[in-house]
Amino acid sequence: MKVKIYVTHKKGILDPQGKTVETALLSLGYKNISGVKIEKYIELEIDGKSKEEAEKQVKKMCDELLSNPIIEQYRFEVEQ
Amino acid sequence: MKVKIYVTHKKGILDPQGKTVETALLSLGYKNISGVKIEKYIELEIDGKSKEEAEKQVKKMCDELLSNPIIEQYRFEVEQ
């Protein structure tokens, strides 16, 4: 099963990388942009489980390793 | 308009960050995972253009700054 995980900053948490890219875009002349956020997008394959078990496992992996619960939140999709 | 951009490694390009995370997950006991890829997910707001113009501008921004065309490819969605 293919899993797509989006790890994003929690609301109110500074995103310095996004801020830097926004400043760069503005200085390149793109004056109509705002709210640039650079987040993580993780793809992986899980073998041999039901969708429910896979979802449970992905949640555990996110809590344990893939996201930093203090500053980040995540959402994911399991595709069969 | 909200824009979602996915910047991913081109096929055949090594993803050392993904490899590291995969090794870490395996060593944590998640033996049934493979093909871990860590990619970039960018969100931003574009003001005051038609969807077609916004798409043209996003393409230009990706080519100019947001992706490295030698090793990365991108796809994006413009939401109205």
User: What's the domain count of chain A?
Assistant: 1
What is the extent of the structural domain holding B30?
2-79
pLDDT tens-place values along chain B, 80 residues long: 999 999 999 999 999 999 999 999 999 999 999 999 999 999 999 997 799 999 999 999 999 999 999 999 999 999 98
Residue B49 forms contact with A (CB below 8 Å): yes
> Which ipTM score applies to this complex?
0.87
CA distance B33 to chain A (A): 5
Residue B12 forms contact with A (CB below 8 Å): no
Q: What is the DSSP string of chain B?
A: -EEEEEEEEPTT---HHHHHHHHHHHHTT-TTEEEEEEEEEEEEEE-S--HHHHHHHHHHHIIIII--TTTEEEEEEEE-
Which CATH number goes with the domain that contains A14? 3.30.1280.10
